[in-house]
Amino acid sequence: MINLFDVWNRKKQNIHQQQKRIHFNEGDIWWVQFGQNIGNEIFGKGRDFARPRLVIKKVFSNAVLIVPLSTKQKTGSYYTEFVDTAGNLQIASLHQIRYIDVRRFQHRVSRCRKQDLRKIKDALAALIK
């Protein structure tokens, strides 16, 4: 059996070596190489260990706060749903917010509308309170 942690570690080393400049904005939805994570942490899927993420906040020119997205219906204060600009229903997993380097970004998929981004940020603030 292939150990996914070993496979991800090799891929992560390659990502770390990359020198790429990526233009992004708050509200962008990107496929992000997220890795093989532990326990209940949301992890990437497929050969690239990727899944869609919503850019919540630009922290530096090369780092962001992101929230993982899913298309599986979930309810509760940890989740907020919205329809992206491509017309897809997205579920933001607020409890999995994370700070990442943009070298993990693969490609932009869509965007979150401004009013939905505000709703998500308000739900994050309420969750932290």
Spans of all domains in the chain:
4-128
Is the CB of residue 99 less than 8 Å from the CB of residue 116?
A: no
What is the predicted pLDDT for the residue at 1? 44
Domain 4-128 has CATH 3.30.1450.10: no
Rg of the chain over all Cα atoms, to the nearest angstrom: 15
Residue pLDDT, tens place only, 64-84: 999 999 999 988 989 999 999
H runs (alpha helix) in the chain: 4-17, 114-128
In percent, the amount of the chain with pLDDT more than 70 equals 94
Cα dihedral across residues 71, 73, 78, 83: positive or negative: positive
pTM: 0.85
What is the predicted pLDDT for the residue at 41? 65
Most confident of 8-17, 31-40, 80-89: 80-89
